[in-house]
Every structure is written in C-alpha cells, then in structure tokens.
Amino acid sequence: MPADTLSSISAGALLAMPRAGARDTRPGLAGMDPDALAAWMLERGEAAYRARQVADFLWDRGAVSFEQMRTLPAVLRDGLEAAFRADTLVETTVLPADAGLTEKALHRLDDGRLVESVLMRYPARDGLRERNTVCISSQAGCAVGCPFCATGELGFLRDLETAEIADQVRFWRRRLAPLGDRVTNVVFMGMGEPLLNVERVLAAAAALSDRRRFGLGARHITLSTSGVVPGIERLTALRPQYTLAVSLHAARPGLRDVLVPLNRRYPVGEVVRAATAYADATGRRISYEVVLIDGINDTPRDAAEMARLLRGRLAHVNLIPMNPVAHTPWRPSPPERLAAFAEVLRAAGLATTIRRNRGLEIGAACGQLAAEQAEAPTPAAVGRRRERLERESAAALAGGGA
Ligand code: SAH
Ligand code: SF4
C-alpha cells in the first residue's frame, strides 16, 4: 500500500530501508497507454469506457489504490489489482527546505531502490503567473559518471519504468491539490540520464503532455541531457515541443572529457550540432546548462570558448554554481566569477541567466540524498578519487586548446 509520509529523515529510518531486491512484475498503471488499457478491458469482456473511467481516477483524481476507484465493479478492481500497480512509489519521505519553497521527496521503489524528485515553487511576481516546477528522476543512479554529480558517484543501478517516472509527478500533484495548486512544469533533471532511458522517458513525457492523461503542455516539459547524440536525434525526428536542456559545462573538449565523460563518445561539437538540429526542427530554443566550478571551468578563456561555440545559435545559457558534493575536491565558483562569465556570453549576444541553487541544505543537486544512503565509500577511496580528479583536471587545464 503506498504511503506518503512527511517526516524528517533520521539515520535509523534510512538504514531500515531495504536494499535492492526482487521486482513486482505487475506494470504500473501510469505507464499504460490508453489504447493498451482499452484493449485489456475488451479482452476481459469489459466495456471500453471502463478504461476511460480508470484513467480519470488515475490522472484526474490522483488515485494510488484500486480501492479508491469506488465506482468500478469489485470484480474489475480485483482484476486490475492482479494485473497492475496503481502506484509504483512504495513509500515517500519529504524534506522541506528554502522556507517551504522547495521540497524534496525520496521515493522508495518496489525493489528498495531510492530515487529523488524535487518541487520548486515560484510565487507569482512581476506579472508572471505562479509556477510549480517538479524535477524528476529517470534512472536509479547514472552511468555517465560526471565527477561533480552525486548520482554519477552512485554509478548505474537501473532504468526507471514509465510509470515510476510519471508517478513522481502524480505524487506532487496530490501534494499540491489540497492547497489549490497544481504542477505547472516538469523537468527531467533529477537522477539519471533521460536519453539513456529514452523510450520510457518519451512514454512518460507523452503521458504527462496528453490531454486525456496528465494534460501538461509539451512546452512545460524539459528533457535534460549530458549529450547523448542518438537520443537527441531520436527526439528531433519526433519534433515534439519539449524544451531540450543540454548539460554543457565546458566548450573545450579536453576539459569536457573530464567533466562529462560521455564527451569521449559524443564530442561536444557533435552534441551542439545535434541540439541545433533539434532547435531548427522545433523552433525551440536550447537551454545550455553550465555548472561552474571554482578554478576549473570558470576562467575567462572558458567563457570565450563557450561564446565562440554557441554564438548565433538559438540558445539560452544557465550558469549554476556547483553544489558541493562530498567526493570532490571542488568548490562552487564565487559570484563575481559567475557574473564575469555571464558578461562574456552576453557580449556575444547569448541570453544568459545566473541561477541560484535551491534547497542547498537538503542536497537538492541531483542524487545527493540517495547517494548519502548508498554505502559510504571509505575515506581512502574518497581520497584516491579526489587525487585522480585533481590530476585529470590539472592535465586538462594545462592541455592548451584541447
Ligand atoms: N543526466 C542529465 C539530467 C540529470 S542531471 C544531465 O546531466 O543533464 C541535471 C542537472 O544537474 C545537470 O545539468 C547536472 O549537470 C546538474 N548537476 C549535477 N550535479 C550538480 C552539482 N553538484 N551542482 C550543480 N548542478 C549539478
Ligand atoms: Fe548522470 Fe547527469 Fe549526473 Fe552526469 S550530471 S552523472 S549525466 S545525472
């Protein structure tokens, strides 16, 4: 039975969380497309309109159990229960931060895996409507291994199912509904690389943007990628109206090899070319995300190279000071360096925004909370890792134009 609990996380509670185990083989209902659900009904001799009724319970009324689907015949509810899970999030713990404007949820899945989602509330101001942005995970862990990222440190655990992705958004919808609020934006910037789980991510985004299901405008959904070129190309072929965010971090190939190891497979020039093709096909501006690390990728030369790479493209650059994570020796860039970097980009005609980190105190950067609960690496392992990062980044920084 799913349970939404509001509590502060205690070390004891975390240790009590089960380790990854056997899977519940029933698919989550939120991952079923409407035609498949209608076919399932017909196969059982049920009227097709029952599928619509179930979808209303799930998407409009936020049902998390089949018992809540009161107007369905008991035998149908039992049949649904045997075939599907009404909610794939077994237990959720919420941590408030940022004077209540940010909340972070840690979701436990059926096999004990933990993934995170975050709600960021932006009150109405300066004629802008209120926004409630939900940041969701697409994988448990991540194979890309960016050294400044807590999820990267976890390594790849598994892909999330379509329903596990969509259920994170349904969770926040239930939480906002009693306040008379709703989710207005969804960003795939939690744990995992969305375009390495592209089919499920696209299915979840389709459910979220389908008028008959979650009903969010496609333009209110952002897919963030570290640069999986085939995934970007797959997206371009579909021409959706989703916003594409590219985690750039460095324009220099040698430095980007260190910061985003996937750069060795899909070099930065190819990534920007693929993203530009997406912008051309959809007319949507690309968001380039740049996490700035003190003394590593925030130099005037890095800013100039980035300006050269992006100049003239349909682009918006977000500069984000790195959220400190335990396993790196690195620190966030100081505000004056962020401002200077932004100036170089703006002088090249690039729209640039400096983002402040939200929910820093609860580790709102991707994967930090879940990483804290994974088995802690030994101090010696952390030390070795820090040394290696220092060595690699020093080599990249010394590496001239590369
Ligand atoms: N894998 C995808 C999406 C999830 S990461 C991607 O990399 O784009 C979402 C964003 O969080 C990325 O832009 C990533 O660079 C950023 N991020 C990761 N660790 C961070 C940290 N320690 N401080 C600030 N941003 C971080
Ligand atoms: Fe994976 Fe994104 Fe973290 Fe890199 S920043 S390790 S791609 S989740």
Please report the atom of ligand 2 found closest to the CA of residue 143.
1
Residue 372 lies in a domain: yes
Q: How many A from CA of 148 to the centre of ligand 2?
A: 9
What is this structure's pTM? Answer: 0.90
Q: What pLDDT score was predicted for residue 127?
A: 84
Is 211:55 a contact under the CB 8 Å cutoff?
Answer: no
Establish if 13 belongs to a structural domain. Answer: no
| Residue 269: predicted pLDDT | 98
Q: Is the C-beta atom of 371 inside 6 A of ligand 2? A: no
For residues 86 and 24, is the Cβ–Cβ distance under 8 A?
no
Which two tokens mark 353?
A: 């925004």
Let me know if residue 6 belongs to a domain: no
| R_g (Cα) of the chain, nearest Å | 22
Q: Any idea what the CATH number is for the domain that residue 185 is in?
A: 3.20.20.70
Residue 222 lies in a domain: yes
Q: Which residues of the chain, if any, have pLDDT below 70?
A: 1-20, 357-378, 399-402
Q: Is residue 230 part of a domain?
A: yes
Could you tell me if residue 66 is inside a domain? no
- Kindly state whether residue 193 falls inside one of the protein's structural domains: yes
pLDDT at 274: 98
Q: What is the pLDDT of residue 358?
A: 60
Number of compact structural domains in the chain = 1
- Written as six digits, the tokens of 195 are 């375009």
Atom of ligand 1 nearest to the CA of 246: 8
**Segment (H or E) for 316:** strand 315-321
Index of the ligand 2 atom closest to the CA of residue 152: 6
Query: How high is the pLDDT of residue 65?
Result: 98
227 lines ligand 2 (CB under 6 A): no
Active-site amino acid positions? 116, 366
CB of 151 shorter than 6 A to ligand 2: yes
What distance separates the 2 farthest-apart alpha carbons in the chain? 71
By alpha-carbon position, which residue is closest to atom 3 of ligand 1? 189
Q: Is the CB of 144 under 6 A from ligand 2?
A: yes
Domain that holds residue 113: 94-400
Looking only at the bridges linking them, the beta strands covering 243-247 and 221-225 are parallel
261 CA distance to ligand 2 centroid (A)? 10
In a domain, 134, yes or no: yes
pLDDT of residue 357: 66
Q: Whose CA is nearest to atom 1 of ligand 1?
A: 193
d(CA 49, CA 58): 14
| pLDDT of the residue at 240 | 92
